[in-house]
Chains A and B, each alone.
Chain A
């Protein structure tokens, strides 16, 4: 465990986390620019979503995107700033970005946070068979971004 901390901190993309128990993967359906239905019919919570976006062991959206989360230092410079994203995109569009940005931009660096684990190549043992975020975390993050008007 100490070994993983040493390596992960300098890279900053993913802090070692207690890995949550694997959940059954829920299928979803994409339209060209959206995922119209919430995953598993779950309701997102914007307050929790803000924490997921900032948490280095969860969404860690901050690794790449500047976000209006002033108490966190070091926002990344890889993706576009997400302030105002709720005015640019409808919630169903944000959901597709978070679930699988590759369906919008095939070559994107942005991780697919709810990819069918069968499509993941060479996961390490700790994360095999798991999505990056749980279905509830995806819905929470979507709810949070939708409030960024």
Chain B
């Protein structure tokens, strides 16, 4: 009996829940993220704030519906993205929501999916939920999309033929050449990248991983990346949002 209990406890003590990429940063990099005046990602938040308050074609701004500074946006709802869109019949990511409001509510000319203004708006909105635990409900309508996302996460891709699971579930904490691997969590996105000096969307980060696998990239706006985002965000349920996080 005692043997059995001990066996039961070992795996429990090993699984400490998901770990943010923050925990794999050096103290110097953490300090940059911790201080809004030092964190270069904050400039994307400011750009996003300007756009959020700018009048659209139909005479109102995001702030008309969502309050000055987004005061009427509920951080818990932001932390629940992607959600299932009844009208769309598929997952709606926070980025999708920005595009929908921009075009349909403000009546603006559509933004390309990799437009930097869309990135700034997404960064501003997600920053409003900083500190809020990610909480994606995949128990109901999103379940099949979550499952498709997980399937892609575990598919060998490209000439290197590795999966996301290999690098981010089997070897976090270990180094590949000089680069320490993390769990590949999404709670910091859009993130400020020390290497490129740019604020980076999740889609761009995923494409970097694809390039390193010598795999053909997916479109930012593809069902594949949408499903993957459902899976990745839900996999990080409970992690606090850090947007704009600082990463390598």
| Distance to closest chain B CB from A133 (angstroms) | 11
Greatest chain B CB density within 10 A among A62, A75, A121, A126 is at: A121
Q: Determine whether A14 belongs to the interface, using a CB cutoff of 8 Å to chain B.
A: yes
**Closest beta carbon of chain A to B63's beta carbon, Å:** 36
How far in angstroms is the closest Cβ of chain A from B176? 5
Contact A77 B174 (CB under 8 A): yes
Residues A127 and B159 in contact in the complex (CB < 8 Å), given A7-B208, A10-B248: yes
Known: A8-B211, A11-B208, A78-B171. A109 touches B177 (CB 8 A): no
Check if B178 sits within 8 Å of A77, measured CB to CB: no
A40 at the interface (CB under 8 A from B): no
- Chain A residues near B161: list those with CB within 8 A: 111-112, 115, 120-121
Which of B68-76, B99-107, B150-158 interfaces with chain A? B150-158
8 Å CB contact of A12 from B155, B171, B177? B177
Q: Chain A residues near B217 (CB, 8 Å)?
A: 124
A29 contacts chain B at the CB level, 8 A cutoff: no
Contact with B along A111-149 (1 / 0, CB 8 A): 110010000111111110010100000000000000000
Rounded to whole Å, the gap between the CB of B72 and the closest CB of chain A is 39
| Chain A interface category by residue count | 35 or more
Are the CB atoms of B159 and A124 closer together than 8 Å? yes
B176–A64 touching, CB < 8 Å: yes
Q: Which of B175, B195, B209, B212 contacts A74 (CB 8 A)?
A: B175
Q: What chain A residues lie within 8 Å of B214 (beta carbons)?
A: 14, 123-124, 126-127
**In the complex, are the beta carbons of B179 and A11 less than 8 A apart?**
yes
Give Cα distance in the complex from A115 to B160, angstroms.
10
Q: A62 contacts which chain B residues (CB < 8 A)?
A: 177
Bound complex: CA A14 to CA B210 (Å) = 11
Question: What's the Cα separation between A104 and B149 when bound, in Å?
Answer: 28
B216 proximity list for chain A (CB < 8 A):
122-125
The interface residues of chain B lying within 8 Å CB-to-CB of A10 are 179, 195, 208, 248
Chain B residues with CB under 8 A of A63: 176-177
**Contact of B215 with A123 in the complex, beta carbons under 8 Å:** yes
Q: Which of B170-209 contact A (CB under 8 A)?
A: 170-171, 174-179, 195-196, 208-209
Check B177–A76 contact: CB distance below 8 A.
Answer: yes
- A20 contacts which chain B residues (CB < 8 A)? none
Report B203 CB to chain A, min CB distance, Å: 13
Chain A residue, CB-CB nearest to B212? A11
Distance of B134 from chain A, by nearest CB (Å): 25
The reply to whether the CB of A6 lies closer than 8 angstroms to some CB of chain B is yes
Chain A residues near B160 (CB-CB < 8 A) = 13-14, 111, 132
Residues from 11 to 67 in A contacting B, C-beta threshold 8 Å: 11-14, 56, 60, 62-64
B200 to chain A, nearest CB (A): 11
Looking across the interface, which residue of chain B has its beta carbon closest to that of A75?
Answer: B177
Instruction: Report the nearest A residue to B180, measured CB to CB.
Output: A77
At the interface, yes or no: B162 with Cβ under 8 Å from chain A?
Answer: yes
- Chain A residue numbers with a CB within 8 Å of B195 are 6, 9-10
Complex contact B159–A120 (CB within 8 A): yes
Subset of 21 A-B contacts with CB under 8 Å: A4-B211, A6-B195, A10-B208, A11-B208, A12-B177, A14-B214, A78-B174, A78-B176, A109-B162, A109-B167, A109-B171, A112-B161, A120-B159, A121-B156, A122-B157, A122-B215, A123-B214, A124-B211, A124-B216, A126-B214, A127-B159
10 nearest interchain CB pairs? A12-B177, A109-B166, A11-B212, A74-B178, A127-B159, A77-B174, A77-B175, A127-B214, A12-B179, A63-B177
